């Protein structure tokens, strides 16, 4: 610990008296910390690094002069290992010296020697010069914030508002006087001439404008006519927001990411894309799934010369070892070109776990948080096998988990309860899975036996349906399906089989009139409203919490402002908000904490010395409802608040909906930035359910059972069935067998992930799928219920 220095200084001490026998620990959470747009599955697992070695040493390329294939030349390979280690070599290939080039045997043109950097989209030698290796370029569309029918004075730029609009109008016209040209801020933008448009969009400091007036110096001050231009303003504002970590929807809506026209999203320059090995370029391999890549590596040796094979063998060994680690943990459907930012929390966790399995560490405590999230039961079996291998190496594996099949195969189970929130925190049962199932105090134990499990009996389904015809988005193989309306429909299948593509990329995007690879979808006229409830984060703003997001806080503030004590103190509704001046603590601006800049140390939050973390002024805190201040209410759980507000139907009903989706343990004032993907989804669902009870609504849900205990899944099932009984349709992507067994209709995709998926394996009821031999879901559902 002493060797870690300042790393440990920012860690708070755990609230425990003593921990005995603690081994060196590695925590593998589901929180994705890698937000680098350049990071891919290939770079993260080092598979791409080893492929770059192969292509640099064994790659063939066409001569740019005559088109003749230039073969690799084997000279002195003494620097081979040095090149693998030196991944930061950025010297230019243009200034090659003796030994740093190869010669075309046909026309004798000298070509720069291929290096690992030639195949890296993070290095100048390899990346596409147009997009700098990102594969996409940013373009600006001012339509959301610009009305060309108005003048600058009339508010053409909506983002500026009245105050800034008047300011920029003066600067615009002052620039005209400085350059002795006519710039009229009263003229509609659509009527601007070429010079007016140039100044308006790009400003007087742009190179295009300076070329027109080379003898005129640019004004030094803004008020002297230094007009920066709308596009320049937007770019600076966006860059500043990114640097500060601020999200602005109005500015963000103007920036569109488009595929790079030069590299077509491949990230590499033309010369690198033309190099092939075993008749495949490294760009083509980036689109291969892990499974397909394994097959490609196995076919290489038979197509290589003896000299090439000497170089390739050790590299191929390392590539296969990493590939097999991903296959064994159920990630064989991923491609090595997949961006790390697009992975789910569960996928990111398993990717890190795969690298640890290869490390060979012993005597380590591994801590995993719900590793089965997003996994089909078939892939759960692979995960359990991998974790047992870790255990057998002499490690301890500590797992937080709700999956019943996973719990059944554990060596030891520690069950917490009896309830959630303040009513939990006790060890209810401990022992083997068999001992837990026989313990009457254990809620989990009751679900470990099959006697409490039920399957939805076949029933008469609605005749109305939504028909998706010839869908071929991503890996879908011309899918044709009928989705019954006013039913609970589960889309199942192994990871990567095409479930999300079918439900979200095809069905949802079609309703949003986006371009979709599908012939047509009919039957949507029977649906009045479509609600998508996914697992994307709600927001990272420090002021957003459960109460504000669900609009419960608005009603609570109204209640508090109507109390006699509040009226005596002349406190209105605004005084009970921590977001505006009036009642909030002005020392911390209603945050309850103050951020301290520690210079070269990490910033730290400390409780506000004035309000002591309560967010509000003293007179506001003295107003109480049933003995609780507005701050107390925010610090209590949803379950506790249900009891407090049981006589206030408007508030109580919304709180009950949050409890029904399994969120009763959350504090009402808990920041939304701390919620997991599953919690985000359920809080969104709760908010939508609290809005209206309209019929004919189509709900699209993405694994809503993520992070839920079986008992909470039962509650969620009852809630979703109630929604269906009210005349709505619920489509769910789901792996939970508890949820699947309660569906009215199942659409199973597969048979495998990636390019081996995208087919409809089965359509029917839970009872019928159990008899389908080709369905992995049916096989595991039958085992689950029997």
| 684: in domain | no
Give the rounded distance of the alpha carbon of 667 from its chain centre: 24
Three-state secondary structure call for residue 137? strand
Residue 284 placed within a domain = yes
Q: Do both 654 and 712 map to the same domain?
A: no
pLDDT reading at 243 higher than 70: no
- The pLDDT confidence band at residue 95, using thresholds 50, 70 and 90, is very low
CB neighbourhood size of 589 (10 A)? 16
Continuous segment of H or E residues that includes residue 175: helix 161-179
Same structural domain, 478 and 517: yes
The runs of H, that is alpha helices, within 521-648 are 546-549, 552-561, 564-568, 618-621, 630-635, 638-644
Query: Which domain CATH number covers 575?
Result: 1.20.1580.10
Domain boundary (407, 424, 452) is at 452
DSSP state letters, 223-235: GGT----HHHHHH
**Which residue's structure tokens are 């030891």?**
412
Answer yes or no: do 648 and 705 share one domain: no
Residues 417-427 have pLDDT tens digits of 888 777 888 99
Is residue 98 domain-shared with residue 83, that is, in the same domain? yes
> For 735-749, what is each residue's pLDDT tens digit?
999 999 999 999 999
For 222, residues 6+ apart whose C-beta sits below 8 A from its C-beta are: 171, 228
* 344 shares a domain with 447: yes
Give me 710's structure tokens: 């079986």
The answer on pLDDT for 450 being more than 70 is no
Q: Are residues 583 and 662 in the same domain?
A: yes
Instruction: State which residues form the domain around 554.
Output: 546-674
Q: Please, what is the average pLDDT of the chain?
A: 87
Residue 188, domain member (yes or no): yes
With 60 as the cut, is the pLDDT of residue 656 above it?
yes
Look at strands 110-112 and 136-140 and give their pairing: unpaired
Backbone angles phi, psi at 533, to 5 degrees: -120, 95
- Domain check: are 344 and 435 in the same one? yes
Q: Assess whether pLDDT exceeds 70 at residue 31.
A: no
pLDDT of 163 higher than 60: yes
206 with 277, same domain: the answer is no
- Does residue 263 form part of some domain? no
CA distances from 218 to 209, 211, 215 (A): 10, 12, 10
Bridge partner residues of 436 (DSSP)? none
> Is pLDDT above 70 for 84?
no
pLDDT, tens digit, 9 for 90 and up, residues 677-708: 778 888 888 888 776 566 889 999 998 888 88
- Per-residue pLDDT at 594: 84
Check pLDDT > 50 for residue 294. yes
In a domain, 314, yes or no: yes
Of 79-88, 337-346, 533-542, give the lowest mean pLDDT range. Answer: 79-88
What is the number of other CB atoms lying within 10 angstroms of the CB of residue 616? Answer: 24
Tokens coding 509: 């995007």
Is residue 13 one of the residues assigned to a domain? no
Q: Which of 288, 305, 326 represents a domain boundary (last residue)?
A: 326
- For residue 458, is it within any domain? no
9 located within any domain: no
């Amino acid at each position: 610990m002493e060797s870690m220095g300042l790393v440990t200084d920012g860690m708070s001490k755990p609230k425990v008296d003593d921990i005995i026998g603690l081994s060196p620990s590695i925590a593998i959470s589901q929180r994705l910390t890698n937000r680098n747009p350049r990071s891919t599955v290939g770079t993260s697992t080092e598979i791409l690094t080893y492929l770059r070695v192969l292509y640099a040493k064994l790659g063939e390329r066409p001569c740019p002069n005559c088109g003749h294939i230039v073969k690799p030349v084997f000279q002195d390979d003494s620097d081979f290992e040095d090149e693998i280690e030196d991944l930061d070599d950025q010297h230019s290939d243009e200034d090659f010296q003796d030994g740093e080039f190869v010669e075309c045997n046909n026309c004798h043109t000298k070509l720069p020697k291929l290096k690992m950097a030639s195949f890296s989209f993070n290095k100048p030698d390899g990346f596409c010069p147009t997009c700098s290796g990102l594969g996409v370029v940013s373009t600006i569309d001012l339509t959301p914030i610009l009305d060309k029918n108005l003048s600058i004075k009339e508010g053409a730029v909506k983002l500026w508002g009245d105050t800034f609009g008047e300011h920029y109008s003066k600067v615009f016209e002052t620039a005209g006087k400085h350059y002795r040209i006519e710039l009229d801020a009263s003229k509609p933008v659509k009527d601007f001439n070429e010079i007016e448009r140039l100044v308006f969009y790009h400003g007087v400091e742009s190179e295009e404008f300076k070329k027109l007036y080379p003898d005129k110096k640019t004004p030094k001050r803004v008020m002297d006519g230094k007009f920066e231009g709308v596009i320049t303003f937007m770019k600076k504002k966006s860059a500043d927001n990114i640097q500060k970590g601020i999200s602005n929807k109005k500015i963000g809506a103007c920036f569109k990411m488009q595929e790079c026209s030069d590299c077509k999203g491949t990230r590499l320059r033309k010369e690198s894309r033309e190099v092939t090995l075993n008749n495949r370029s490294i760009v083509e391999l980036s689109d291969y799934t892990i499974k397909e890549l394994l097959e490609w590596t196995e076919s290489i040796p038979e197509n290589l010369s003896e000299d090439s094979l000497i170089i390739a063998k050790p590299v191929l060994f390392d590539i296969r070892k990493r590939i097999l680690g991903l296959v064994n943990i159920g990630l064989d459907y991923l491609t090595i070109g997949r961006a790390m930012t697009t992975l789910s929390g569960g996928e990111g966790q398993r990717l890190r776990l795969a690298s640890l399995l290869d490390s060979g560490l012993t005597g380590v405590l591994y801590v995993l948080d719900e590793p089965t999230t997003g996994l089909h039961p078939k892939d759960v079996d692979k995960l359990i096998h991998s974790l047992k291998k870790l255990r057998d190496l002499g490690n301890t594996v500590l797992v937080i988990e709700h999956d019943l099949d996973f719990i059944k195969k554990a060596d030891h189970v520690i069950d917490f309860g009896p309830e959630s929130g303040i009513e939990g925190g006790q060890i209810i049962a401990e022992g083997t899975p068999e001992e837990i199932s026989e313990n009457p105090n254990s809620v989990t134990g009751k679900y470990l036996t099959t006697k409490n499990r039920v399957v939805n009996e076949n029933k008469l389904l609605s005749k109305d349906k939504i028909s998706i015809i010839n869908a071929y988005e991503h890996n879908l193989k011309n899918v044709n399906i009928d989705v019954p309306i006013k039913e609970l429909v589960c889309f199942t299948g192994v990871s990567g089989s095409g479930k999300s593509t079918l439900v979200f990329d095809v069905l949802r995007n079609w309703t949003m009139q986006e371009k979709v690879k599908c012939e047509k979808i009919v039957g949507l006229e029977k649906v009045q409203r479509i609600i998508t409830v996914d697992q994307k984060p709600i927001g990272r703003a420090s002021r957003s919490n459960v109460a504000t997001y669900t609009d419960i806080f608005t009603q609570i503030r109204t209640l508090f402002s109507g109390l006699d004590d509040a009226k005596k103190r002349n406190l209105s509704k605004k005084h009970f908000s921590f977001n505006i001046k009036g009642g909030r603590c002005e020392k911390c601006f209603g945050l309850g904490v103050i951020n301290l800049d520690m210079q070269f140390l990490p910033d730290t939050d400390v409780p506000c010395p004035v309000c002591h973390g309560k967010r509000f002024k003293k007179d506001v805190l003295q107003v109480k409802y049933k003995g609780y201040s507005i701050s107390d209410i925010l610090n209590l759980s949803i379950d506790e608040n249900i009891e407090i507000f049981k006589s206030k139907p408007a508030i109580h009903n919304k709180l009950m909906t949050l409890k029904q989706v399994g969120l009763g343990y959350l504090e009402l004032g808990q920041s939304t930035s701390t919620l997991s993907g599953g919690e985000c989804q359920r809080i969104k669902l709760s908010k939508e359910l609290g809005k209206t009870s309209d019929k004919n609504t189509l709900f699209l849900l993405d694994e809503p059972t993520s992070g839920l205990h079986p008992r909470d899944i039962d509650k969620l099932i009852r809630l979703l069935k109630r929604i269906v009984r009210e005349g709505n349709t619920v489509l769910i992507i789901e792996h939970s067998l508890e949820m699947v067994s309660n569906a009215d209709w199942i659409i199973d995709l597969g048979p495998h992930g990636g390019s081996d998926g995208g087919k409809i394996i089965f359509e029917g009821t839970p009872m019928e799928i159990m008899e389908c031999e080709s369905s992995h879901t049916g096989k595991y559902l039958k085992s689950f219920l029997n």
